[in-house]
Amino acid sequence: MLPTPLTPQDAAAPPVVEVRPAAPGELEVVTDVLATAFAADPVMATFTGTGPERHRRTRGFFGAVLASGALRHGAVDVAVGPDGRVLGAAAWEAPGSAGHLPAQVAQLPTFWKALGWRGIRRALANQAVLARHRPVPEHWYLTAIGVGDGARGLGVGSTLLASRLRQVDAAGAAAYLEASTPRSRTLYESFGFRFLATVEALGTVTGPASMWRPARPLA
């Protein structure tokens, strides 16, 4: 999957934002935040299509992706404002979790409900393209990151990234992601990610950038 195209304005720290693990009952709000954040993302459109049903399909798609991936084999972080509202979310798959086919099969009914059989075939083809670009060394993989309406430009995305990357660094681990836009690539570069290649064959005018952040030496 792809991180949402965060903007450079997200580099500014918000006044008060707490980053914590998503609670078991927060899957729906997390998927809604991510679906809203990806509403205009051209790469996501290659997975879920366009039209009036796009938000519903994207929510269902993220629900299945998280249930079969980051929730079972990684971490889902949420950024919460002073009022307790979830402002943003980030999903990460842990090192060594790339091949969780049994969990994906278990979510097949949810994938089908969200995308239909034709959409599932399209999503599988896209995932195969993305998988070919993932580095072989073990790493944390940013499945998706997004900020909800009304919270963009406040640094929520950067706060989510910084929080998880501190833990990644403490574990001496590497990280990987795909940046949807040139603007988001610039932001990710400010966090130490390096451009590897452009991911072609996804049906978009400009493919996303695969980006690698090597493990940091432990102090």
Q: Give tens-digit pLDDT for 125-166.
A: 888 888 888 899 999 999 999 998 877 778 899 999 999 999
Q: What's the start-to-end Cα distance of the chain, in Å? A: 32
Are the C-beta atoms of residues 156 and 88 closer than 8 Å to each other?
A: yes
Q: Look up residue 134 and give its DSSP letter.
A: S
Q: Give 30-74 pLDDT, tens digit per residue.
A: 999 999 999 888 888 888 878 888 888 888 888 888 888 888 889
**pLDDT value for 100:** 56
Contact between 185 and 155 under an 8 Å Cβ cutoff? The reply is no
Q: Is 142 within 8 Å of 175 (Cβ atoms)? A: yes
Domains present along the chain, CATH in parentheses:
8-213 (3.40.630.30)
Do residues 47 and 61 touch, judged by C-beta distance below 8 A? Answer: yes
Confidence band of 175 (pLDDT split at 50, 70, 90) = very high
Global pTM?
0.85
Report the length, in residues, of the chain.
219
